[in-house]
Structure formats: C-alpha cells, structure tokens
C-alpha cells in the first residue's frame, strides 16, 4: 500500500519563526478560497473508480485512503511542526504520552536496552520501568546530569538515551553537546522531550539529537483546550514510527489539528511574553523573604544556568519554587491565590499553579516523595500571558497572608 501524502519539511523561503508559525506547511490556495486550513472531517476517502484504486494500490499514487492513515488537516499540522523544529518529518498523536510510548515501542525489539534520566516525566518513567519489561526490554534509570554514569550505563544492546530538557519540575537542562558526543561514541540514538522549551527557545535537532518529542497540549496549542503530541526527526526514523502509529491508533482528530494550527499562529508571540514574564516572576520570588528557593534556567542561581544560556534563547514560562513553612503553609498559600488557577498542566495563556505533592504524587508516601525531591512546600508555576504585574501581585498577596 502507498503511504498517504508525506508530511515532509515544507519550504518557507527562510522566513522568521513567527512567519513560519502562520504559513509553513500549507498551500497558498485552499479549498473554497479559505484563508484558514479547512477541517477535513471524514474517516474515509473514496475512489472514483477501479482505475483510481489500482493507481493507489499498484502504481503507488500518493493520496488519502482512511483517516487512521492520514488526513489533510493533520498533514498540515505535521508539516508546520516539522518546519518549526527543523526536522525532516513529523507525526502528530492524540496526546504527548501517545507520542512517547509509540516512539519508544517502534524503536525497540525484544532483548534491547535503553537509558533514561531520573528527572524524566513520571508517566514516561513508569512506562519504561513497568511496561517495557513485558517485552523483555531492559531500562536503566540514571541520575540526570551525570554524564559519566550515563555513558557507563550504555551496553552493547542499548538502543537510545532518553531525557527531557528542561525537566519537570526542577527545570534541569541537558547538555546536548555532551550527550551528542556520548551517543556518537557509543552508536546510540538520542531522544529529547522538548515540551518545556519549544522550538522558540531550543531546537535539539540543531545539536544533533535524533528525535524530539513534544506534548502539543502545552505551549504549541497554548489554550488549554486540546490534547496532542508530536515526534519529529529524520525521515527514516519517523517512517517506522508512523507505521506503528497506524496500528496503535493514537490518532489526533481533524478538529483538534485545526485548533493546534490556530494555536501555532500565535505561539511565538505567546512564548516570548511568557519568557519575559516568567523571568520577572522568578526574580521577584527569589527576592521574597517567604521563599526558600527558586528554580528557573535563566536565573544565575540555577545549577544549569550556563548550559541554558548556551543552548536556549529563553528560559520558558515555568517557574518552580519552594516556600518557607510546611504543608499547612503550602495549602494556605494555594487557597489565597485569586488570579492563578490551580491545575496540573502548563503552557497555556492562563497562569496555572500546581502543588506536586498534592496533585501528582498524592499516592506516594512522604518519604518516597522526598527521595524524588517533591517536598511539602514545592510549587510549579506556569506563567500565562496576563499582565506580569498582576501575576506578581497575586503571588505577593498570597505570600504575605501565608
């Protein structure tokens, strides 16, 4: 069977990221002279006659056949995301986790081994630690940032190194230059979850990473109204991921792709604003007497500040911090916020705050949480696009009343 039309990298004439976010990947002339990409809401694409069937099945004519194998609206989203990330190709998924799990499974065979850093997303770690062993695939979890340990963990059957950069929730930054050298020496692939940075702030492919994963639910969509994911990279790798994607069925629907495309049009503007506001919020918090510690890549106090300044053009919209006090103090602080919404996600236009101990790690004992660095007074703030002074004012008011 022939593939549906490829989502390969679209030409954009070298235009800026902001311009490409609006125009990349789509034809200038669209159906019914529409300005926006149409929503092709169909599960099935029909053939005019038997010749059209044979042109597709026997002669390899490129066209669409069935929604699970490709859709014109999702194709535009794939092309645009590939262009923004500097990738050859892209596959979009129904969620970030679907993108991660499908990618991992497509690259591995029974008897393989992977290396993953311990600061990766909780559900990613759970999948690698718990589910891969059912396929006789071994997983070694290594300390983030210890590159000697990472290299020593690589075996003859190691297929890839997986990490996030920045990580959740401490916003640690992976040295992509170092990990590329290790991967080249040991002939393994590199997978980077770049959701926190986005193509505005960091493009891992430019540093030689093989595959980049994005939860498009976050900054790329940007409005807290979709679930979507993407994997981007070299065509030969993406081809195998796309083949498994067709079987696994983690399909993103056309209307969701339309909303993703709409979000991408303002994505660079939003991220720039969030970069600026988050840095100001981080600086405010670091100077506040009620704060124990602040974690933000573009603060000089961050352990990976120098790496962040080399690799990133902005620190992102997430600020992690610890307040002084105890769990009761943390709850009082949360309850006194008026502008910031309490919620577990990030990257949207509304400012969100989450308390990992209560929200994400509620089923862990206190000892287990603390071993992972999830203290009673730790918060993750996702800065939105509201007026910066309003966000700071809300934080300041809640901290004063703590």
For 211, the token pair is 């595959």
pLDDT band for 402, please (50, 70, 90 cuts). Answer: low
Domain 17-264 - what CATH class? alpha beta
Give me the chain's average pLDDT, please: 94
Residue 302 in this model has a pLDDT that exceeds 80: yes
Mean pLDDT to the nearest integer, 1-15: 50
Q: Are 19 and 94 in contact (CB under 8 A)?
A: no
For 148, the token pair is 């000697």
What's the pLDDT at 3? 47
Domain 266-400 - what CATH class? alpha beta
Residue 319 in this model has a pLDDT that exceeds 50: yes
What's the pLDDT at 9? 42
Residue 44 in this model has a pLDDT that exceeds 90: yes
Q: What percent of the chain has pLDDT over 70?
A: 96
Mean pLDDT to the nearest integer, 49-71: 94
pLDDT, tens digit, 9 for 90 and up, residues 68-118: 999 999 999 999 999 999 999 999 999 999 999 999 999 999 999 999 999
CA distance 247 to 81: 23
What's the pLDDT at 14? 63
CATH 3.40.640.10 residue ranges of the chain are 17-264
What's the pLDDT at 362? 87
Give this prediction's pTM: 0.93
CATH 3.90.1150.10 residue ranges of the chain are 266-400
What's the pLDDT at 31? 87
For 252, the token pair is 């993103």
pLDDT, tens digit, 9 for 90 and up, residues 183-234: 999 999 999 999 999 999 999 999 999 999 999 999 999 999 999 999 999 9
pLDDT band for 253, please (50, 70, 90 cuts). Answer: very high
What's the pLDDT at 8? 41
pLDDT, tens digit, 9 for 90 and up, residues 325-369: 999 999 999 999 999 999 999 999 999 999 999 998 888 899 999
Mean pLDDT to the nearest integer, 256-283: 98
What's the pLDDT at 144? 93
Mean pLDDT to the nearest integer, 119-125: 93
pLDDT, tens digit, 9 for 90 and up, residues 149-173: 999 999 999 999 999 999 999 999 9
For residue 378, list its beta bridge partners: 322
Residue 400 in this model has a pLDDT that exceeds 50: yes
């Amino acid at each position: 069977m022939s593939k549906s039309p490829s989502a390969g990298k679209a030409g954009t004439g070298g235009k800026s990221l902001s311009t490409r976010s609006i125009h990349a990947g789509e034809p200038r002339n669209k159906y019914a002279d529409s300005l926006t990409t149409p929503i092709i809401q169909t599960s099935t694409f029909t053939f005019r006659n038997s010749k059209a069937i044979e042109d597709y099945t026997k002669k390899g004519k490129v066209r669409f056949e069935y929604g699970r194998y490709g859709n014109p609206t999702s194709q535009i989203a794939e092309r645009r995301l590939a262009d923004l990330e500097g990738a050859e190709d892209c596959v979009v998924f129904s969620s970030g986790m679907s993108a991660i799990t499908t990618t991992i499974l497509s690259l591995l065979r029974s008897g393989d081994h992977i290396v993953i850093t311990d600061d990766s997303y909780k559900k990613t770690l759970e999948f690698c630690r718990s589910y891969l062993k059912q396929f006789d695939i071994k997983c070694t979890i290594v300390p983030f940032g210890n590159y000697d340990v990472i290299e020593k963990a690589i075996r003859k059957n190691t297929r890839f190194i997986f990490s996030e950069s920045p990580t959740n929730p401490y916003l640690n930054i992976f040295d992509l230059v170092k990990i590329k050298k290790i991967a080249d020496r040991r002939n393994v692939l590199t997978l980077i979850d770049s959701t926190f940075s986005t193509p505005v702030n960091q493009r891992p492919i430019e540093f030689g990473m093989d595959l980049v994963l994005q939860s498009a639910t976050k900054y790329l969509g940007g409005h807290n109204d979709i679930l979507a994911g993407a994997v981007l990279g070299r065509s030969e790798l993406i081809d195998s991921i796309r083949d498994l994607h067709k079987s696994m069925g983690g399909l993103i629907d056309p209307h969701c792709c339309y909303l993703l495309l709409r979000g991408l049009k303002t994505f660079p503007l939003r991220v720039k604003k969030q970069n600026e506001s988050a840095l100001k919020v981080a600086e405010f918090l670091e100077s506040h007497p009620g704060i124990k510690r602040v974690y933000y890549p573009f603060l000089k106090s961050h352990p990976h500040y120098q790496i962040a300044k080399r690799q990133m053009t902005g620190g992102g919209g997430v600020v992690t911090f610890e307040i002084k006090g105890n769990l009761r103090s943390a709850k009082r602080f949360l309850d006194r916020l008026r502008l910031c919404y309490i919620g577990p996600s990030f990257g949207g236009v509304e400012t969100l705050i989450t308390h990992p101990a209560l929200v994400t790690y509620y089923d862990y004992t206190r000892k287990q949480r603390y071993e992972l660095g999830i203290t009673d007074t730790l918060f993750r703030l996702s800065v939105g696009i509201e007026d910066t002074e309003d966000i700071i004012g809300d934080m300041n008011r809640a901290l004063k009343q703590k």
